[in-house]
A and B are shown apart, each in its own frame.
Chain A
Amino acid sequence: MSRLQRGSGILVLAAVIALWQLLAMLGVVTENQLASPTRIVAATVEELQEGTLAREIMATARRIIIGFSFAVVFGVLSGFALGRSKLLHAAFAPIIEFLRPMPVVAILPIAIFVLGLGDRMTYSVVAFASGWIILLHAMDGIRSIDPVLIDTGRTFHIRPLRQFLTIALPASAPHTFTGMRVGFGIAVIVTVVVELISGFGGGLGDYIGVSQGALRVPEAYSGIVLVAILGYGLAQLFALLERRLMAWHHGFKQQAR
């Protein structure tokens, strides 16, 4: 594998950024439409030094983490309940199947109307949107457990609680964790969209909207880049956590190959 081949990815990325810089410098796209990469970096450094950006980053990060935590609790608990109890599942199945394809952003205007603008509304919307996905995955996870495992538990007369903790929980864990991973991505997106739409309470979404409105385009772009970095960073942290908790599963899957 030649050095050129290995570096080709970096070359392409560098070429894209260079082209971008060139277009901005040549004036093919005006300053109001597209900011050059150098301007974006300069703006980011400037704003970080001023301290305003750091506050926005913390605000968004806080909302993502708290909203997601609520989502996990709500989603996992109700998902397990709906998966475990045939009664509950039968009762709520039509509503769930109808709401499954609903775009979660549709809930936003109602939430703003009923709960007003502010953190309570943001946490609720993020928790609902993210938790819903987690609920679906957790429920599907419980329902798709190999019946042999459950029957084995019954054969050994294991008490229901113990059965749940030692059989159902680990067996449905992969599915649930996938749901949490997807849910986390949704939490990031929804947090930024809520901040952008409500334009209230700071945060990176608000920062992007306000910067764009004030025609401070490099700042707006830097906001977006920071959102991407923040989302990526937090997702990596979560992946680390998942790898620890699910080490047994990953090892098993490797062996099966």
Chain B
Amino acid sequence: MKTFALNRPWLLGIATGILFLTGWQLTPTMGLIDAQLVPPATTVLNRFLQQWLDPTFYPDLLITVLRVAGGFLLAAAVAIPLGLAMGYWQSVHRMFGLTIETIRPVPASALVPIAAAMFGIGNLMHISVVFLATVVPILLASLDGVRNVDPILISTARTFKRTTPDIFRTVLLPAALPHIVTGLRISIAIALVVGISSEMIMSAEGLGRRVVYAQRMLRVPELYAGVITLALLGYGFNRTFLLLENRILGWHRQAMAKNW
């Protein structure tokens, strides 16, 4: 029986999933778990499907996505060039290294109250918090990426008397791309976590706020449905990013070698 199961791992996975869902359905209905604390799976599923019919849901979804993506893209736009420069020129690295190291240990979510004092509780505040949280990881990844570029590539470009902007564009950026993309992948997850937590701390709209609202108003099925929505959002971001990653890195010999 063990071999049967091991030869078909997907079967075991599905079995566990079904077992879990059944357990979730039965234990509250049978009273083994307080149904007020953990509603049955069907109740939560029902509420989850309902929210897609709710017109007020979509603005919240859109705002969260825009805040997270906005802060992330802004951070990438700033951090990638700066990281490349810091990796290429020791002088630039020395100039900004200390400041970066000082900012690094500050947890961005803790900055939400202060950011709110400066920018109010609108989109600007959330975007700036997400920006602060992701700018350092992306920068460090870009820096690392440049450091790991084969020096021969750079020497060759110099031998051909390429101008520095050209070298950045045609050699450094493409060669450092796998490293940068890995940094971006980690940072998008950070962006999502920070974006949602800042909405939970202080916001008038957005998915994070929805879930906290449900918790405070003791709307339990809505609470669980909201959490599932957040998990799906994370899953969606991840999938999208993997797709983009494959497109961007498809030609990169070094990156694709890993997939063999």
B192 touches A109 (CB 8 A): no
* A80-120 interface bits toward B, Cβ cutoff 8 Å, 1 = contact, 0 = none: 00000011011111110011111111111110111000000
Closest chain-A Cβ to B37's Cβ sits at a distance in Å of: 5
- Contacting B at CB under 8 A, from A167-215, are 188-189, 192-193, 196-197, 204-205, 208-209, 211-213
**Size range of the interface on A?**
35 or more
- Contacting B at CB under 8 A, from A24-60, are 29, 32-34
Contact A105 to B193, CB < 8 A, known contacts A87-B2, A113-B37, A224-B114: yes
A196 touches B113 (CB 8 A): yes
* Residue tally, chain B, CB below 8 Å to A: 59
Flag whether A5 is at the interface (Cβ < 8 A): yes
Flag whether A13 is at the interface (Cβ < 8 A): yes
- Partner-binding segment picked from A151-159, A225-233, A238-246: A225-233
Compute how far the CA of A189 lies from the CA of B14 in the bound complex, rounded to whole angstroms: 34
A12 touches B117 (CB 8 A): no
Compute how far the CA of A100 lies from the CA of B239 in the bound complex, rounded to whole angstroms: 12
- Contacting A at CB under 8 A, from B1-57, are 2, 5-6, 9-10, 12-17, 20, 37-38
Contact residue among A8, A95, A113 (Cβ-Cβ distance under 8 Å from B16): A95
A101 touches B234 (CB 8 A): yes
* B108-134 interface bits toward A, Cβ cutoff 8 Å, 1 = contact, 0 = none: 011111101110000000000000000
- Contacting A at CB under 8 A, from B92-113, are 94-99, 102, 105-107, 109-113
Contact residue among B99, B107, B212 (Cβ-Cβ distance under 8 Å from A9): B99
A9 touches B196 (CB 8 A): no
Flag whether A221 is at the interface (Cβ < 8 A): yes
Compute how far the CA of A93 lies from the CA of B6 in the bound complex, rounded to whole angstroms: 13
Compute how far the CA of A6 lies from the CA of B25 in the bound complex, rounded to whole angstroms: 65
A109 touches B211 (CB 8 A): yes
B227 touches A109 (CB 8 A): yes
Contact A98 to B215, CB < 8 A, known contacts A12-B98, A13-B99: no
Closest chain-A Cβ to B70's Cβ sits at a distance in Å of: 17
B16 touches A92 (CB 8 A): yes
A193 touches B197 (CB 8 A): yes
Most-contacted residue by chain B among A89, A102, A204, A211 (CB, 10 A): A102
Q: Can you offer 19 A-B residue contacts whose CB atoms are under 8 A?
A: A8-B91, A10-B98, A13-B99, A16-B99, A32-B117, A90-B10, A90-B12, A90-B13, A101-B238, A103-B192, A113-B37, A193-B201, A212-B116, A220-B113, A224-B114, A227-B107, A227-B110, A228-B107, A231-B107
